[in-house]
Amino acid sequence: YSTAISVAKEIGMWRADGVALTGNDLDEMDDDELERIVENVTVYARVSPTHKSKIVKALKKKGHIVAMTGDGVNDAPALKLSDIGIAMGITGTDVTKEASDIILADDNFATIVEAIRSGRIIYDNIRKFIRFLLACNFDELFVITVATLLNLPIPLTPVMLLWINLLTDGPPAVALGIDPPDEDVMVRKPRDPKTGIFHGMLLFVIVSFMLQAIGTLGSFLISYLIWGDHLNEART
């Protein structure tokens, strides 16, 4: 118990208002009592696999996203209960690895931070990629739909659409997929896991594709109807 507190202080985990609990303390508590204080507990010592599962359940009931690390067979139940199970790749057992979502190939806890960073970067870039493609494709759809409803020639031919999608949409979208990370990628709070990947991008997509559509359709109408250019010229 005292050793666990000393180690926690040494690595900067201990808080002045923190609480330390042992397995015996957990045995004397019911689930409701643990749930009331679980957010203030900094150190657990001499806990059994059953205690670990109890702790995970209490944290999840308080609305936390729980990550659990383990290497032994006895850790498997708690790893399955947690939102993110993390197993040791070198010292971990096969049972533990199967119960986990992430395996640390180097058994280094610092790798968890790097994994979080990589995950956030990939997620951000996927959103940028989707946002760009949605705006571009809705622009094309809107232009063709409006022209059809107004009984006008189609501003974009199939060959033009193929050219746009392959050469002017594709490379920029791929570039966004490997875009460097934002400076605040590890500073901002974790996103709500219940929110979808399209959350918060609707307004951007609408404004973006409307501006593109107005420019595309407007230039076509001015060229074809007002200036009287040939249809092929107006389409360019």
pLDDT digits (tens, 9 = 90+) for 13-29: 888 888 999 999 999 99
b/e string for 97-118 if b means 16 or more Cβ within 10 A?
Answer: bebbebbbeeeeeeeeeeeeee
Confidence class of residue 78 from pLDDT cuts 50, 70 and 90? Answer: very high
What pLDDT is recorded for position 18? 84
What pLDDT is recorded for position 164? 83
Bridge partners of 43? 20
What is the overall mean pLDDT for the chain?
A: 90
Q: Which two tokens stand for residue 173?
A: 């979208």
What pLDDT is recorded for position 61? 94
Distances (CA, A) of 178 to 121, 169, 204: 9, 15, 21
Q: What is 2-112's CATH superfamily?
A: HAD superfamily/HAD-like (3.40.50.1000)
pLDDT digits (tens, 9 = 90+) for 159-201: 888 888 888 777 887 787 788 888 889 988 888 888 888 888 9
Q: Where in the chain is the domain with CATH 3.40.50.1000?
A: 2-112
* Predicted model pTM: 0.77
Q: What angle do CA 139, 120, 206 make, to 5 degrees?
A: 20
